[in-house]
């Protein structure tokens, strides 16, 4: 252990002076089409074909269902996965039994006055069809979408729910809403669920997706490395957060993958602490759960560090338990293992140490286009899946919490830690802080 630690010191100090070079084994990024940061249209067409193979017959509609978040429109992961289109209000229609044209893109009608406010949208034509890789693009005017659906359903009367419903939302899903209207025009048409098909397609990432995600992770790590020198008593949480987010933005990230959580002292025990405006004090920890989105893919990393560079004995004890729980779960990751096995194993480490009541969330989640990505948590892990392992212990009465979060890829034979560019053990973290302090 001692000699390993010595080697690590050297590596980390070198890393401090010169940003670590990207390892030779790093997968090459696929060509991204700017400014939308999308992949080639054939990538999305291939995914639609896989989904249509699973449908076999009938018709499916997928609404974009995105949101404006201040950095522009962000389509839902399901819609983007199938289209690469980030035009607000877009709708995808798939009809695998059709003879010639089996996929259709409906776009909102244009509004010249509104476009003065939100940006000009492109006119119909060959250029737009090429850009999106669809032979058939329509404007959804005069119930065009509904009549098109009815028309397709007369020839193959099954309507597929391909997007899993948001069960936390009372409202009727938009696809089912449209299918009801189709049913009113066409009695006897069947509505069926495609279950976990789309989630399972999304969860098994292609090599190109993994290359994009790995690149995003390297950017996130770079943000952490830039932010760490700002962690010290008297500095604000906001300085740390702003520095990381600046690095990501400057490197081409459009937005953070989720609202950054940067909390010191008792704030480190609040799962979704949003403000990042407290001044850090001597003797506290700082919990940073922050990550960038890159080319539409999320990343997700958490590190917890001592504000003055040294954990107290109690903080260190808790840190080591969290790390041991994480190591235990990480060592188990391979095809065939279930999420709940990992969760149980990590939880047993924390329970054995007497902190069972203070690990109040799940062990982790899939990561992909969404930070909490699509995937069947009840099914065994398979190669190509990326998940977080993020145990935590939160002690509000003691004024601190610790979470360590990393992303791991399930490979054919086991697992690969994707977020291997940042310190994880308590010793490494303290050395990281000392290195940062010496450069101030
Ligand atoms: Mn997470």
Are both 176 and 311 inside the same structural domain? no
Q: Confidence class of residue 9 from pLDDT cuts 50, 70 and 90?
A: very low
Per-residue pLDDT at 10? 38
419 backbone dihedrals φ, ψ, rounded to 5°: -95, 55
Which of 195, 225, 254 is a domain's end point?
Answer: 195
Are both 110 and 247 inside the same structural domain? no
Answer yes or no: is 36 within a domain: no
Token pair for 361: 């969330």
Q: How far is the CA of 365 from the centre of ligand 1 (A)?
A: 7
Q: How far is the CA of 126 from the centre of ligand 1 (A)?
A: 42
Q: Confidence class of residue 144 from pLDDT cuts 50, 70 and 90?
A: very high
User: Does 6 score more than 60 pLDDT?
Assistant: no
What is the C-alpha separation between 51 and 241, in angstroms, rounded? 40
Q: Judging by DSSP bridges, how do beta strands 406-410 and 415-417 pair with one another? A: antiparallel
User: Does 313 score more than 60 pLDDT?
Assistant: yes
The tally of domains found in the chain comes to 2
Q: How far is the CA of 383 from the centre of ligand 1 (A)?
A: 20
Which of 149, 173, 195 is a domain's end point?
Answer: 195
Residue 410 Cα to chain centre, angstroms: 16
Query: The domain containing residue 94 runs over which residues?
Result: 41-195
Q: How far is the CA of 366 from the centre of ligand 1 (A)?
A: 9
Are both 101 and 231 inside the same structural domain? no
| Cβ 191 vs Cβ 183: under 8 Å | yes
Domain CATH number, residue 230: 3.90.230.10
Q: Confidence class of residue 437 from pLDDT cuts 50, 70 and 90?
A: confident
Are both 70 and 134 inside the same structural domain? yes
Q: How far is the CA of 105 from the centre of ligand 1 (A)?
A: 33
Answer yes or no: is 35 within a domain: no
Least confident of 25-34, 75-84, 365-374, 416-425: 25-34
Domain CATH number, residue 122: 3.40.350.10
Query: Residue 42: which region, alpha, beta or left (left: phi > 0; alpha: psi -120 to 50)?
Result: alpha
Q: Which residues contact 182 (CB under 8 A, 6 or more apart)?
A: 146, 149, 150, 153, 159, 189
Share of the chain above pLDDT 70, in %: 95
Closest C-alpha to 87, from 56, 123, 58? 123
Least confident of 118-127, 216-225, 380-389, 400-409: 118-127
Q: How far is the CA of 288 from the centre of ligand 1 (A)?
A: 11
Per-residue pLDDT at 11? 39
Answer yes or no: is 246 within a domain: yes
Q: How far is the CA of 213 from the centre of ligand 1 (A)?
A: 15
Q: How far is the CA of 367 from the centre of ligand 1 (A)?
A: 8
Q: Which residues contact 229 (CB under 8 A, 6 or more apart)?
A: 436, 437, 439, 440
Across all residues in the chain, what is the average pLDDT? 93
Q: How far is the CA of 396 from the centre of ligand 1 (A)?
A: 20
Token pair for 29: 């990024």
Q: How far is the CA of 100 from the centre of ligand 1 (A)?
A: 43
Share of the chain above pLDDT 90, in %: 87
- Reported as type and span, the H/E element at residue 165 is none
| Cβ 191 vs Cβ 159: under 8 Å | yes
User: Does 354 score more than 80 pLDDT?
Assistant: yes
Query: Residue 239: which region, alpha, beta or left (left: phi > 0; alpha: psi -120 to 50)?
Result: alpha
Q: How far is the CA of 394 from the centre of ligand 1 (A)?
A: 16
Q: What is the pTM of this model?
A: 0.92
Per-residue pLDDT at 2? 36
Are both 79 and 172 inside the same structural domain? yes
Least confident of 11-25, 272-286, 305-319: 11-25
Q: How far is the CA of 364 from the centre of ligand 1 (A)?
A: 6
Helix, coil or strand: residue 47: helix
User: Does 62 score more than 60 pLDDT?
Assistant: yes
Mean pLDDT, residues 217-229 = 98
Are both 179 and 264 inside the same structural domain? no
Q: How far is the CA of 407 from the centre of ligand 1 (A)?
A: 9
What is the C-alpha separation between 19 and 139, in angstroms, rounded? 49
Q: How far is the CA of 115 from the centre of ligand 1 (A)?
A: 37
Which of 195, 217, 246 is a domain's end point?
Answer: 195
| Cβ 291 vs Cβ 298: under 8 Å | yes
Helix, coil or strand: residue 190: strand
Q: How far is the CA of 404 from the centre of ligand 1 (A)?
A: 10
Are both 220 and 152 inside the same structural domain? no
Are both 104 and 249 inside the same structural domain? no
User: Does 240 score more than 50 pLDDT?
Assistant: yes
355 backbone dihedrals φ, ψ, rounded to 5°: -110, 20
Q: How far is the CA of 258 from the centre of ligand 1 (A)?
A: 9
Q: How far is the CA of 87 from the centre of ligand 1 (A)?
A: 28
Q: How far is the CA of 391 from the centre of ligand 1 (A)?
A: 10
- E strand residue ranges, 196-312: 255-256, 261-264, 285-289, 292-294, 297-298, 302-306
Q: Confidence class of residue 126 from pLDDT cuts 50, 70 and 90?
A: very high
Are both 397 and 248 inside the same structural domain? yes
Q: Which residues contact 112 (CB under 8 A, 6 or more apart)?
A: none
DSSP state of 389: E
- Reported as type and span, the H/E element at residue 388 is strand 386-389
Answer yes or no: is 34 within a domain: no
Q: Confidence class of residue 431 from pLDDT cuts 50, 70 and 90?
A: very high
According to DSSP, the residues that pair with 387 across neighbouring strands are 366, 408
Answer yes or no: is 394 within a domain: yes
Q: How far is the CA of 290 from the centre of ligand 1 (A)?
A: 9
Are both 426 and 345 inside the same structural domain? yes
Per-residue pLDDT at 71? 85
Angle at 166 between CA 162 and CA 167, to 5 degrees: 120
Closest C-alpha to 201, from 82, 110, 305? 82
Mean pLDDT, residues 25-33 = 88
Per-residue pLDDT at 18? 44
Are both 173 and 224 inside the same structural domain? no
Answer yes or no: is 87 within a domain: yes
424 backbone dihedrals φ, ψ, rounded to 5°: -125, -40
Q: How far is the CA of 426 from the centre of ligand 1 (A)?
A: 20
Are both 395 and 422 inside the same structural domain? yes
Token pair for 127: 């250029």
What is the C-alpha separation between 326 and 348, in angstroms, rounded? 11
């Amino acid at each position: 252990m001692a000699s390993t630690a010595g080697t690590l010191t050297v590596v980390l100090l070198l890393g401090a002076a010169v940003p670590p070079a990207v390892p030779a084994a790093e997968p090459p990024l696929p060509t991204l089409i700017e400014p939308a940061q999308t992949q080639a249209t054939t990538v999305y067409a291939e995914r639609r074909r896989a989904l249509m193979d699973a449908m076999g017959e009938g018709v499916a509609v997928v609404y974009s269902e995105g949101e404006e978040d201040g950095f522009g429109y962000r389509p839902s992961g399901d819609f983007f996965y199938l289209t690469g289109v980030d035009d607000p209000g877009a709708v995808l229609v798939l009809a695998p039994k059709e003879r010639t044209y089996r996929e259709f893109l409906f776009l909102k009608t244009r509004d010249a006055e509104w476009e003065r406010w939100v940006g000009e949208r492109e006119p119909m034509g060959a250029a737009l069809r090429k850009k999106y890789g669809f032979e058939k693009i329509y404007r959804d005017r005069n119930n065009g979408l509904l009549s098109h659906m009815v028309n397709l359903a007369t020839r193959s009367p099954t309507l597929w729910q391909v997007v899993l419903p948001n069960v936390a939302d009372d409202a009727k899903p938009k696809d089912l809403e449209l299918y009801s209207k189709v049913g009113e025009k066409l009695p006897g048409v069947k509505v069926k669920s495609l279950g976990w098909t789309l989630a399972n397609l999304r969860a098994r990432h292609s090599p190109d997706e993994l290359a994009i995600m790995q690149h995003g992770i390297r950017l996130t790590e770079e943000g952490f490395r830039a932010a760490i020198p700002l962690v010290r008593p008297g500095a604000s949480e906001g300085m740390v957060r702003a520095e990381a987010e600046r690095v990501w933005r400057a490197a081409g990230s459009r937005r953070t993958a989720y609202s950054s959580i940067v909390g010191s002292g008792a704030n480190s025990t609040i799962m979704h602490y949003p403000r990042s405006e407290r001044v850090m004090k001597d003797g506290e920890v700082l919990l940073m759960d922050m990550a960038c989105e890159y080319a539409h893919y999320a990343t997700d990393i958490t590190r917890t560090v001592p504000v003055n560079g040294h954990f107290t004995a109690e903080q260190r004890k808790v840190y080591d338990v969290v790390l041991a729980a994480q190591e235990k779960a990480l060592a188990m990751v391979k095809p065939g293992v279930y999420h709940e096995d990992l969760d149980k194993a990590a939880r047993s480490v924390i329970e054995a140490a007497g902190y069972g009541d203070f690990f109040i969330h799940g062990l982790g989640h899939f990561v992909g286009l969404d930070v909490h990505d699509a995937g069947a948590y009840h099914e065994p892990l398979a190669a190509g899946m990326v998940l977080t392992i993020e145990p935590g212990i939160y002690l509000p009465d003691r004024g601190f919490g610790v979470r360590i979060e990393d992303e791991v890829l399930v490979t054919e034979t086991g697992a690969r830690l994707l977020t291997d560019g940042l310190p994880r053990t308590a010793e490494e973290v303290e050395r990281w802080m000392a290195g940062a302090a010496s450069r101030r």
